[in-house]
């Protein structure tokens, strides 16, 4: 076979691919929001005084982090209907991505929580604050800013994992490229264009994370 790169075709498929890329970005952003919330919950539960609470959390985090996202997605996608829960593929994908990355964000939060000086916990205790208020008003506001870059990096990783949703029939950018390729028997252009789109977006978001990093206070939160 000879080398043929078809510029007309590459331009022709650009609009549908960009449209599908919106789905990719949507899934990533929604999944990331879920990961941010669930991860924080896991990180806090991991510090619970009860071993019965801590232990399952530790196991969940370890298990999720050492097994493939693809199989986890299959699990959710095929098992949930057996229990009478039928959700659209995109929702399953967002939940799968979110839960998978919650295990990673939980570890990031953990390092943030560990970084809050002991005195702060003790002071909250001396003031007789409830556990909820201790976290909300004292600990979390100090734990979050230093870990924002690490969280941002997981957002980028998640974006790069979102093509896996194609395996559970979500028509995101990669799936669209596959469909286009199978219609025209030209796979080179769709897959190359999708690859370049991913490269461009992840380089852009990496630059974004660096920018945010730049604006963060260097040592904890500024005292006002």
Partner 1 sequence: MTLAEILPYLLKGTWVTVEITLISIVLALLMAFLAGIARVSEHRLVRWIARGYVELFRGTSLLVQMFWIYYALPMLGVEMSAFTAGVLTLGLNIGAYGAEVVRGAILAVPKEQYEASIALNFTPLRRLWQIILPQAIPAMIPPFGNNAIELLKGTALVSLITLHDLTFSGQLLRNLTYQTADIFSLVLLLYFVIALFITGVVRLLERRLGVGLDRGGMAR
- Footprint of partner 1 on this chain (CB under 8 A)? 1-4, 63, 65-72, 74-75, 78-79, 82, 160-164, 166-167, 174, 177-178, 181, 186-188, 191-192, 194-195, 198-199, 202-203, 206
CB of 155 to partner 1, least distance (A): 14
Residue closer to partner 1, measured from CB, 122 or 183: 183
CB of 142 to partner 1, least distance (A): 27
8 A C-beta contact, residue 14 and residue 83? no
CB of 132 to partner 1, least distance (A): 34
Residue 154 has phi, psi (to 5 degrees) of -70, -30
Residue closer to partner 1, measured from CB, 145 or 181: 181
Q: Around Cβ 55, how many Cβ atoms within 10 Å?
A: 12
Q: Work out whether the CA dihedral 8, 10, 14, 17 comes out positive or negative.
A: positive
Residue closer to partner 1, measured from CB, 131 or 206: 206
Q: How far apart are CA 104 and CA 6, in angstroms?
A: 41
CB of 66 to partner 1, least distance (A): 3
| CB-side neighbour CA atoms (13 Å) of 18 | 7
Token reading at 84? 């009478």
Residue closer to partner 1, measured from CB, 93 or 135: 93
């Amino acid at each position: 076979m000879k080398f043929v790169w078809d510029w007309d075709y590459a331009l022709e498929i650009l609009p549908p691919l960009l449209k599908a890329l919106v789905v990719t970005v949507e899934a990533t952003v929604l999944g990331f929001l879920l990961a941010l919330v669930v991860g924080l919950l896991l990180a806090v539960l991991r510090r619970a005084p009860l071993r019965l609470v801590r232990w399952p959390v530790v196991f969940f985090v370890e298990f999720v982090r050492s097994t493939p996202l693809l199989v986890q997605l299959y699990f959710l996608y095929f098992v949930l209907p057996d229990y009478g829960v039928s959700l659209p593929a995109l929702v399953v994908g967002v939940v799968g991505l979110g839960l998978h990355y919650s295990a990673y964000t939980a570890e990031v939060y953990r390092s943030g929580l560990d970084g809050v000086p002991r005195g702060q916990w003790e002071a909250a205790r001396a003031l007789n604050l409830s556990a909820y208020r201790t976290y909300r008003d004292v600990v979390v506001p100090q734990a979050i800013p230093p870990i924002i870059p690490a969280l941002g990096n997981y957002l980028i990783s998640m974006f790069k994992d979102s093509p896996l949703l194609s395996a559970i029939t979500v028509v995101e950018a990669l799936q669209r490229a596959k469909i286009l390729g199978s219609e025209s028997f030209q796979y080179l252009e769709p897959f190359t264009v999708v690859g370049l789109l991913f490269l461009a977006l992840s380089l852009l978001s990496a630059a974004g994370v660096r920018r945010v990093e730049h604006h963060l206070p260097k040592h904890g939160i500024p005292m006002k």
